[in-house]
A and B are shown apart, each in its own frame.
Chain A
């Protein structure tokens, strides 16, 4: 039962990763690619982390995995803002 739920969650996470990657490859400019990558990959990592956390027997380690997800969320938010700021500044320079 738990294995089935894990497989379902991990498959969902993989779907979001694929969606983010397709967005990275196919969207026209940097800002929209950034949007696709950060949103889809954060959700994908969350589902993946939840699926893995169900497989770990020890609840403390499962909480650690979810804390890793929170850290990655914060890091990608900071990184995404930096990239977006750089893109906006570059656009203003070339005007």
Chain B
């Protein structure tokens, strides 16, 4: 388990670099996909709920530290997302959850929750309409992340997923 955790942290570094530096090329109207969340959901389904919760917390902590954002906001949203994704880590149904459409729907659910929580805790101005905030900060980035997850899991080798 420790090796798996360390391996998932090693994979996190290049993904974080992509998330911070190269994301500008696929950002549309300030809406960007969350590659780190896709990685978190992937490893959580591959392992278990406890693994996902702790991994989400660690990913969030590193993201907050390296981007200079509000420390704790990504920690909280990723912890909850990892916990949520953990409900889909059933060993007997894993092959079903790794099907492209199912996987992207799980990512969509986690991304929406994560984005809403993140924006809620990092916004001080509460004068905005709550439904507008949910739509712009939660649904739009969530859908974009889900579409990217669908493409990535579609091209991910099936044999590797079954072996795991």
A, B in one complex: no
> Which B residues contact A (CB, under 8 angstroms)?
none
